[in-house]
A and B are shown apart, each in its own frame.
Chain A
Amino acid sequence: MLEQKLEELRRATLAAFAEAISLEQLEEARIGALGRKGTLAQISKEFAKLPPAEKAALGKLLNSVKQDLESDYLNKKQRFEEADLAERLAKEWIDVTLPAPGIRPGSLHPITQLQQEIEDLFTSLGFAILDGPEVETEEHNFDALNIPPAHPARDMQDTFWLSNGHLLRTHTSPVQVRGMRQLGPPLRMIAPGRVFRNEEVDASHEHTFYQLEGMMVDREVSVANLIFFMKTLLSSIFKRDITVRLRPGYFPFVEPGFELDIRCLICGGSGCAVCKHSGWVELLPCGLVHPNVLRDSNIDPEEWGGFAFGLGLTRLAMMRYGIDDIRQLQGGDLRFLTQF
């Protein structure tokens, strides 16, 4: 008898659970079957009166029915709760494409960005980064760089002269002099900064532009070392393998002096408008430090030697970003600056 009742209870309750369409109906069915006064409780009372022998046999069934119903109930309940939650959250839809309030990061000037990148590269190669003043002495800017007064090379650099007798530096090379005098040999340094030439401004000429001077002084420094550093530097800046070539160039503070060309990045050397169909683009002057320059900074050229180079940061930035008007760099126009 009880066995039948139990089976009936299982069947009917499972059916009721299955038919329940809400958490309330499910709960109602649970209370009817599993509640304190529910059917199972009543059956349990009858079960308690049974003789021990029957109990043993029926006990298992009783437990199994109870477990089945409880587990089915919990399953169903969880499903109702999940559905409920889903329904509630569905109402919390937002348009994720709405603009987010608040400020956005600004941007560094493109020259600053390029400069920092190159600074990091040279720091990793053991180079110090040095600064020099924008207003320089004639001695630092010319004389100590083997450009004495009346040297024709002074004509190559139109100079802004100042009321105090000094000048606006025409290149970052005076920082070589400061670096050698301040740190002494051995020395590895770069000096980025603003330089000035007295020339009319147009789309390709500026009186204010940016250079990055580099110098290494050590016991034995060769042209082979210079080529190695230039190749490493430029491959890193352009993020690909760069082919460089040196050819003679005249700069009073180096001997021998070079113009360094790179194989044209646009055409790969086959010739195009950018490289004027030569396959090469002139990029930077460099050379071995002239012994007079070392001597002027109290370094014995018989003991020490070095290389130096001057990278045009402005030119490099224009090449990298395809800037066709140099005036943009000092123009302060946010429509330009916010692109970087």
Chain B
Amino acid sequence: MKFSYQWLCELTPGLSTDPKTLQRLITMKTAECEGIEPFGAHFTQVVAARVIGVEPTAKGKNKLVQIDVGSGKRATVLCGAPNLREGMLAPWVPPGTSLEGKTIGRAVMDGVESEGMLASAAELGINRDHSGLLELFDVQPGQPLSALVPDWIIEIDNKSLTHRPDLWGHVGMAREVAVITGLRLFDPVKINVLPHCGDPAVHVEIANHDLCPRYSALVLENISIEPSPLWLQARLESIGLNAINNIVDVTNFALAELPQPMHAFDADKLQGNTIYVRTAHPGEILRALNDETYELTTADLVIADAAGPIALAGVIGGADSAISETTRRVVLESANFQATSVRQTSARHKLRTDASMRFEKSLDPENTLRGLARALEIVHQVSPGVTVRGSVTDNFAPLKQQQPVALPMSFVVGKLGKEISQQQVVEILDALGFQARETAPGLLTVTIPTWRATKDIGIKDDLVEEIGRIIGYDEITPAPPLVASIPPYQSPMRQYLRTVRTRLVNQGFTEVYNYSFVAEADMRRFGRGPEQHIAVRNPIASEQTHLRRSLLPGIYRTIVNNVRHYSEFRIFEIGNEIHPDASPNLPDEIPHAVAALYGAHADERDFFELKRVLECVLPDARVAASASRSHEHPVRAAEVHWRGSVVGRIFELQPSLLADEGIKGRAVLFDIDLRLAQQLSAAAQEVTYTPVRKYPTSGFDLSVVTALEKPVAQIQDDLVNFAGPELAAIEFIRQYDGSPLDAGQKSVSYHLEIGALDHTLTSEEGEDIRSRIIEGMRSIGYEFRG
């Protein structure tokens, strides 16, 4: 939202704060300024000039123009404007003037020097008319352009005005400026300019006052449509509104000042004498002022005449009833529409206008008559011949009265954390338009002004903000709160995630973050279809259409993307798998850790390296071969068992998945369900100390011969089982297959340490235990070597 500093000055008589300081004050006390820009700095230099001679130049379409610039001085300029003619008056920009950041000099074109330039209205920033020179009337050469003054435009972030309907117009902002600078607001509205007697010239029927709390209208006659005076055009242009004509510009003036969006219908193009405010009938369409045609729904509120919709209420007018050069009579609409309805219609038709932006903030219904009064005054000012027909139409339901708010002083002081006097509170509130009076000691009863009552202010907390911001938050001294010092709740899951992260980093893994989205191709690569995923209804990209239910596709992408730069690397991600739930409940989000080890020359040793890492993350985890999945190496895939549960998988990535991307290396991954792992971790008993052995142990090696595919973990379990309580330690030494063993056989060697807790084993005892193990193992089919 753009604000004209000059406009604010007019509404705040006596304002002497410079624009830069003012924008800083507004930022600190009201709403965020995004910057200030000068507007029309050249207005002080531009003067009227009369064209007294036009000659062709040797080449080009430019003409050599002699002009009278007043005080008996003449100048020569080059000009190619189509409306250039002898005798006309046009603005002259003298050399040295800065225009749009460029200094106008004595340009030499076509071999001729031009002393400054004659300008179009667009070049001067008055409107957007580039078609020719701005023709001036009723002015003498050498005179400045009347009523055009240089200005500063203060731009306020719209987001910071979301809750402040009143600040969408200059009066609202001027009220803030007045309070901030200690001045008084000048209210430009003279309500008594509205006609009091006679019948209204137009009738209004409102079907639903919830959607249209108030509709006021006035009929004007004797209109002749022409451009507005330059000051009005420039003022609208300066804040980004487009100057159109002497009627439409007035409605936009009221919009930007009060703020009251208004609309002017060509009264002679309306069917009947009644305006209907109703929801659209199915199938109705509206051709709008922007030349688009809108198919309306029964949720759209329209303004209609006897024939059908003539405007989309609060959003845009219709083309068929629009003001044109032939317009002689207008119906001036000044209405109030329900914010939600306007916002939904605006969103449904993807059409945001200056009017809809304001209505969706919940405008003050009291403003409809003020809008008509102000517009009428300006119309009379810019188009003196216009007359009013009949009296004002004003259709409204009894307006909801905002109850006064009880505001204890103790509440203000407690919330701000600053001592402040009741008198100061009353002064601030009154200056902002509230009425605060003491109804009991220390208790204020505060009446809310209508322009703040629609949505913005309703409770005492809102008033604390009003007081706090005007005092200035810088005036509040930081203070620690007085609260009990209690150890906070600590989420066991969070602590566990930290542990896992630390362990992986210590093993050389770098953490990556991938998106929570997955593409269909990527999910299929990992064996799942879209029906197993939650879909995004409004995805931002074609490869981000679903929510991931596995971290693997993301990690796969990360591997592929890093292979170009590294021949080997270790990465991991901790993130949520999102599992759809058939019920209306939220999906199940399960934290997982996926670690990947990639090597351009990786082989089976890397599988065991990752298995080692797995055992660092989940101490004493065991893996058991498992049928492989489509994305896993067919014979290098296993379940991860930990504390009695399967908590995940460890596998080599199906090499063809990498080969598809032209990658020759191999990757080994594990994927752990951290929710399950954390539960198992939390369920573990505290460690209970076992006394260290007092008596020496003795050791011996055993080489077990068995079938090649017998899992080593099974052999070890069997040895441990037969060794019994005397086993102090068992260590795998090596496994061997080949000559002299039979084909399909292997020999697995272990070192065992045995001992008793209460004495040193004799050599006989030791031999007995060894025999017991060997015999036991033989009894279940093992053989021994050496």
Contact = CB atoms under 8 A, between A and B. Distances in A.
Interface of A: 103-109, 111-112, 116, 119, 123, 126-131, 133-137, 150, 152-153, 156, 160-166, 168, 183, 186, 188, 194, 196, 198-201, 207-208, 216, 218, 220-225, 227-228, 231, 245-250, 252, 255-259, 288, 290-291, 305, 329-335, 337-338
B480 interface: yes
Given A108-B505, A137-B586, A247-B29, A329 B513 contact: yes
Given A107-B505, A153-B162, A163-B537, A258 B473 contact: yes
Given A103-B508, A198-B538, A224 B494 contact: no
A188 B480 CA distance: 14
B491 A130 contact: yes
Given A150-B339, A194-B516, A334-B512, 6 more contacts: A136-B586, A152-B361, A199-B540, A245-B28, A255-B464, A259-B32
Interface string B211-234: 000000000000000000000000
A329 B512 CA distance: 8
Nearest to B536: A160
B60 interface: no
A330 B514 contact: yes
Contacts of A104: 508
B411 to A, nearest CB: 10
Contact of A228 (B360, B464, B478, B587): B478
B476 A165 contact: no
Contact of A225 (B481, B539, B540): B481
Contacts of B343: 150, 152
B701 interface: no
B509 interface: yes
A207 B515 CA distance: 9
B589 interface: yes
B597 to A, nearest CB: 10
A109 B490 CA distance: 22
B537 A161 contact: yes
Given A105-B505, A223-B473, A256 B547 contact: no
Interface in B518-542: 534-540
Interface in B478-492: 478-491
**Residue of A224, A252, A258 most packed against chain B (CB within 10 A):** A224
B483 A162 contact: no
Contact of A227 (B30, B476, B513, B569): B476
Number of chain B interface residues as a range: 35 or more
15 contacts: A106-B571, A108-B501, A109-B512, A135-B587, A150-B339, A156-B162, A160-B536, A164-B580, A199-B540, A222-B416, A224-B416, A224-B477, A250-B163, A256-B465, A332-B554
Given A106-B508, A291-B459, A162 B586 contact: no
Given A127-B488, A225-B481, A111 B513 contact: yes
Nearest to B163: A250
Interface of B: 27-32, 159-164, 339-340, 343-344, 360-361, 414-418, 459, 461-462, 464-465, 468-469, 473-474, 476-491, 493-494, 498, 501, 504-516, 534-540, 544, 547, 554, 557-558, 561-562, 565-566, 569-572, 576, 578, 580-581, 584, 586-587, 589
A143 to B, nearest CB: 15
Given A129-B491, A222-B414, A223-B473, A109 B511 contact: yes
Nearest to A197: B540
Contacts of A227: 473, 476, 478
B511 A337 contact: yes
A223 B513 contact: no
A255 B461 contact: yes
A223 B544 CA distance: 42
Contacts of A249: 32, 160
**Residue of A116, A135, A161, A194 most packed against chain B (CB within 10 A):** A135
A228 B514 contact: no
A152 B344 CA distance: 10
Contacts of B491: 128-131
A50 B454 CA distance: 132
Contacts of B340: 150
Contact of A135 (B31, B477, B547): B547
**Residue of B486, B490, B509, B510 most packed against chain A (CB within 10 A):** B510
B535 A334 contact: no
A246 B146 CA distance: 43
Q: Which 7 A-B pairs have the closest CB atoms?
A: A224-B417, A222-B417, A256-B465, A103-B508, A332-B558, A246-B473, A228-B478
Contact of A224 (B479, B490, B513, B565): B479
B282 to A, nearest CB: 22
A106 B580 contact: no
A222 B482 CA distance: 11
A108 B497 CA distance: 12
A126 B485 contact: yes
Nearest to A288: B415
Nearest to B578: A135
A135 B586 contact: yes
**Residue of B418, B493, B494, B566 most packed against chain A (CB within 10 A):** B494
A108 B513 CA distance: 10
Contacts of A136: 586
**Residue of B414, B461, B534 most packed against chain A (CB within 10 A):** B461
Contacts of A218: 481, 483
A200 B340 CA distance: 27
Contact of B476 (A133, A224, A248, A290): A224
Contacts of A105: 505-508
Contact of B516 (A112, A134, A305): A134
Contact of A106 (B361, B473, B488, B510): B510
Contact of A116 (B32, B479, B498): B498
B589 A228 contact: no
A259 B487 CA distance: 30
Contact of A126 (B462, B486, B586): B486
A194 B275 CA distance: 52
Nearest to A230: B478
A128 B487 CA distance: 9
Contacts of B589: 133-135
Given A247-B27, A247-B29, A208 B570 contact: no
Contacts of B160: 248-250, 259
B139 to A, nearest CB: 41
Given A106-B510, A163-B534, A194-B516, A248 B31 contact: yes
Contact of A332 (B159, B480, B536, B561): B561
Contacts of B416: 222-224
